[in-house]
Amino acid sequence: MSPGMTRRLEQATERFEELERLLADPELANRTGDFAKLSKEYADLQRIVETGRGLQALADREREARGLLEDDEMKAMAREEIEAVERERGPLQRELRRLIVPTDPNDERNLFLEIRAGTGGQEAALFAGDLLRMYTRFAERNGDAVEMISGQSGEAGGWREVVVRVAGHGAYSRLKFESGTHRVQRVPATESQGRIHTSACTVAILPEVEAVDAIEIDANELRIDTFRASGAGGQHVNTTDSAIRITHEPTGLVVECQDERSQHKNKARALALLSARLLEREREQQHSEQAEARRLQVGSGDRSERIRTYNFPQGRITDHRIGLTVYDLDNVLEGDLDVLVGPLNEADQADRLAELG
């Protein structure tokens, strides 16, 4: 357990024991407001303290087992006990880290996923299609719903740019570290010499804004245009001018929605996306100095940062932020993103824990 986690656990235990004494005071029951407040704090700390005590119990078991390693008759049993302790310790340490590190208030929200083809022309557009398929499969594995908001298809397939909404409990927490530049290295189907080309796409993950914290948008600052949807829409392609394009004139931000047949629904979706982008813009400005100081830069949304490389000839994926390389490209592209999402979350938690001291 890291020094930061140890110190936070000590602080939580001290406060928990203090609350036990306070809540045992009969006079506190007469102060309803104070009693409720302290009871909630007690309940929150109880999970941390119980997890810490579980880790301590494992440490005691390990110490006792190691003391038996010199006994020939007990050696085999002692080794089994040490192995069992190691298996149980990892999940408890992860749980303790999750409980101690402050949660991201956006974690439980839905999100808007934006993918745009960058350098690489048609190959970049095809890669954007691969990324959309990967994220869609991942969302479906987690029971999330994916809704098309807008898109411009590439000339040879894929997408020049595409925006979808992912809805589900904790959707943002699972994909929030995907923002940034994704690079692909592979031989395009049109390459006759078998040369490897490098292309790139940018990905942005924006938490959906709730009404309670939505940015107020002055209707006089909006230019709203209607048009007929086109592109890869399947049975949802509109035959009337129901698609909506909204331009926020002070910032120049432009959003579109063309998936719904109802102009009213498209306008509502476009306004929700505009609110999310404006809120993200404001957050990035507020946290720019902090983001520069962070080592990992996870979740910064910096479009110029190369966060990950997908190397097809070697079947390799490398996440450059945490130095992680996995040789499981096919499964990852089929939506098995847990091998990347898990380590990214753990690295971010460790970083935030270090910042807490």
Mean pLDDT of 183-200: 85
C-alpha distances in Å from residue 51, one per residue of 27, 81, 252, 348: 31, 20, 50, 21
Average pLDDT over residues 2-10: 78
User: Where is pLDDT greater, at 114 or 237?
Assistant: 114
CATH number where 34 lies: 1.20.58
Asked if 71 contacts 165 with a C-beta cutoff of 8 angstroms, the reply is no
Q: At what angle do helices 75-100 and 338-356 cross, to 10 degrees?
A: 70
pLDDT at 350: 79
What pLDDT does residue 240 have?
A: 64
- Percentage of the chain lying above the pLDDT 70 cut: 87
Q: Do 196 and 297 have their domain in common?
A: yes
- Cα–Cα distances in Å, from 114 out to 10, 141, 164, 180, 185? 43, 20, 7, 11, 21
Banded pLDDT at 239 (limits 50, 70, 90): low
- Categorise residue 168: left if φ over 0, alpha if ψ from -120 to 50, beta otherwise: left
Domain shared by 258 and 142, yes or no: yes
56 and 112 in a single domain? The answer is no
- Same-domain check for residues 54 and 133: no
**b vs e for 221-253, b when ≥16 Cβ sit within 10 Å of the residue's Cβ?**
eeeeeeeebeebbeeeebeeebbbbbbbeeeee
Both 76 and 128 in one domain: the answer is no
pLDDT of residue 344 exceeding 60, the answer is yes
**Are 44 and 144 in the same domain?**
no
Residue 41 CA to residue 20 CA, distance in Å, equals 11
| 12 and 135 together in one domain | no
The residue from 53, 83, 100 where one domain ends is 100
Residues 329 and 212 in one domain: yes
State the pLDDT at residue 293: 35
CB contact at 8 A, 200 and 310: no
Q: 200-234 pLDDT, tens per residue?
A: 999 999 888 765 455 778 888 999 988 877 654 44
Of 100, 127, 147, which marks where a domain is finished? Answer: 100
Picking from 42, 68, 100, the residue at the C-terminal end of a domain is 100
How many domains is the chain partitioned into structurally? 2
Average pLDDT (115-133) is 93
Over the chain, what is the mean pLDDT? 84
- Each residue's pLDDT tens digit, 47-62: 999 999 999 999 999 9
Same domain, 78 and 182: no
How far apart CA 133 and CA 158 sit, in angstroms, is 10
Alpha-carbon gap, residue 135 to 144, rounded angstroms: 11
Mean pLDDT of 75-89: 93
pLDDT of residue 202: 92
Mean pLDDT of 129-148: 96
Segment 103-115 shows an average pLDDT of 88
Q: Which helix (H) or strand (E) holds 186?
A: strand 180-186
**Residues 127 and 58 grouped into a single domain:** no
Question: Is residue 92 over pLDDT 50?
Answer: yes
Neighbours of 39 (CB within 10 A): 13
Report pLDDT for 211: 52
Residue 86: pLDDT above 90?
yes
Determine the Cα–Cα distance for residues 252 and 125; give it in Å rounded to an integer. 24
Domain extent at residue 68 = 3-100
Q: What is the DSSP letter of 321?
A: T
- 238, pLDDT greater than 60: no
What confidence score (pLDDT) does residue 233 get?
46
Q: Nearest Cα to 56, choosing from 85, 78, 82?
A: 85
Q: Which residue type does 9 have?
A: L
Mean pLDDT of 122-144: 95
User: Going by C-beta distance under 8 Å and a sequence separation of 6 or more, which residues neighbour residue 186?
Assistant: 123, 196, 197, 310, 311, 312, 313
What's 224's domain CATH number? 3.30.70.1660
Helices 75-100 & 3-23 angle (0-180, nearest 10): 70
Measured torsion, CA atoms of residues 265, 271, 274, 279, in degrees rounded to the nearest 10 = -120
When mean pLDDT is compared across 196-210, 231-245, 277-291, 294-308, the lowest value belongs to 294-308
Residues 66 and 128 in one domain: no
